[in-house]
Amino acid sequence: MTYRHKVAIVFLLGFFLDLINMFIASVAFPAMAVVLNASAPALAWISNGYIAGMTLVIPFSALITRRIGAKRLFILSLTLFCAAASAAGLAESLSHLIFWRVLQGAGGGLLIPVGQALAWQQFKPHERAGLSTAVMLVALLAPASAPALGGVLIQFFIWRWIFFAPLPLAVVTLLLACLWLKNDTTASGPARLLHLPLLSDPLLRFAMLIYLCVPGIFIGVNVVGLFYLQSVVKMTPAATGALMLPWSLASFIAISATGKYFNRLGPRPLIITGCLLQAAGIAGLAVVSATTPEYIIIALFVLMGAGGSLCSSTAQTTAFLNVAFDEMPDASALWNINRQLSFLLGATLLAVMLSTLQQIFTPLQAWHGTFILAGLITLVPLFSAIRLNNQQVLIHLHKEPS
């Protein structure tokens, strides 16, 4: 196995660990509520604390990488992740549990930008579409498998095992990082937290805009939309949850198509197609009622899955095409901050939008207006995609390295 594939495997394992821990805890909230005597809003901080820990440390990833080296930082992050996960599983109070989850998130939050920078440095621009496909498939697998794994653990064991269960994989990842990653040199010179001049790169800015307007908005639509389908359309929780199955299948097909066609078509046609598909799926929720056939609702989620994943996987590949080797840690930090913010802002924006419209229109009109506005926001990257010099990107992808 080549060194670059070893680096990619270590990164993907860390990425999977990070994502699965973002989604696995919520299924255990009812059991935790009994033992810890806590309310649902208070328990939400078990997940929010992990995300907060991630978000707080990402800006420091490039700076610390330069100080101690990427391999050492990756190993220290995994060690903190494992220790905090063990402590969270043993916590006897909600406050202690949240504290350890914040620390666990701090450890996990460094795995993605550090591992991503290491992996992207090993692949040439025209080879990164395949790597991005693998990343996006992991991003699809983790949210789909985490609740199922958590449910099994809760049913047959106790809730504490949702923190213990990922530890064997974390230990394996730690051992592989120790054995496979090469020691890298540290950099001297003035310390910098974020290298903001990188934002002058039009491709990086373009990719970050896509994440804000497409995956970010879908996160909000997913929360608001599933609530709408249960409370207004009167679908059962099981039926609404099952809608993520066709969404996942469509996402898988879209991610695979991106890996196959990105180097041939460039980002412009993929982004335009993805934005149009997701916008149609989101806006289509505005015409869904209690009499709407179920296959129509399934079709809307297929459109959202295909469109959103076309955009996110294309953006992932496009973001770093112009980034120099030694600037990859800084670019990865900026990219992952934007990714975290897109999820946070998307959920917040949709909630605020719905609340505002409910004060002006009838409840049903407010729901419909929210979906239409969300669909329109999804179309914002189209203006940048149309102006994008797609031919120049294709030339850059296929030129021989100097």
CA distances from 77 to 58, 113, 151, 197 (A): 12, 11, 27, 27
Give the C-alpha separation, 376 to 366, whole Å: 15
- In the prediction, which pLDDT does 25 show? 77
Query: For residue 319, what pLDDT is reported?
Result: 93
The two structure tokens encoding residue 119 = 């992996």
Per-residue pLDDT of the chain (402 residues; tens, 9 = 90+): 899 999 999 999 999 998 888 777 767 777 888 888 887 667 778 877 888 888 889 888 888 988 899 999 999 999 999 999 999 999 989 999 999 999 999 999 899 899 998 998 898 888 888 888 888 888 888 777 776 677 777 778 888 998 998 999 999 999 999 999 998 766 555 587 778 899 999 999 999 999 999 999 998 887 788 778 878 888 886 677 678 788 889 999 999 999 999 999 999 999 999 999 999 999 999 999 989 999 999 999 999 999 999 999 999 999 999 998 888 889 998 998 998 888 878 878 888 898 899 999 998 999 999 999 999 999 999 999 999 999 999 988 877 555
C-alpha closest to that of 112 among 200, 20, 45, 189: 20
Q: Quick one: pLDDT at residue 41? A: 65
By the 8 A CB rule, do 308 and 218 touch?
A: yes
Secondary structure in 3-state letters for the chain: CCHHHHHHHHHHHHHHHHHHHHHCCHHHHHHHHHHHCCCHHHHHHHHHHHHHHHHHHHHHHHHHHHHHCHHHHHHHHHHHHHHHHHHHHHCCCHHHHHHHHHHHHHHHHHHHHHHHHHHHHCCCHHHHHHHHHHHHHHHHHHHHHHHHHHHHHHHHCCCCHHHHCCHHHHHHHHHHHHHHCCCCCCCCCCCCCCCHHHHHCHHHHHHHHHHHHCHHHHHHHHHHHHHHHHHCCCCCHHHHHHCHHHHHHHHHHHHHHHHHHHHHHCHHHHHHHHHHHHHHHHHHHHHCCCCCCHHHHHHHHHHHHHHHHHHHHHHHHHCCCCCCHHHHHHHHHHHHHHHHHHHHHHHHHHHHHHHHHHCCCCHHHHHHHHHHHHHHHHCCHHHHHHHCCHHHHHHHHHCCCC
The alpha carbons of the chain give a radius of gyration, in whole angstroms, of: 21
Going along the chain from its start, the domains and CATH numbers come out as 3-181 (1.20.1250.20), 197-398 (1.20.1250.20)
CA 173 to chain centre: 20
| Residue 248 neighbours by CB under 8 Å, 6+ apart | 140, 144, 305
CA 121, CA 119: separation in Å to the nearest integer? 5
CA nearest to 164, candidates 246, 104, 209, 124: 104
CA distances from 51 to 54, 248, 307 (A): 5, 23, 26
Residues 354 and 370 sit within 8 Å (Cβ to Cβ): yes
Which pLDDT score, from 0 to 100, does residue 311 have?
96
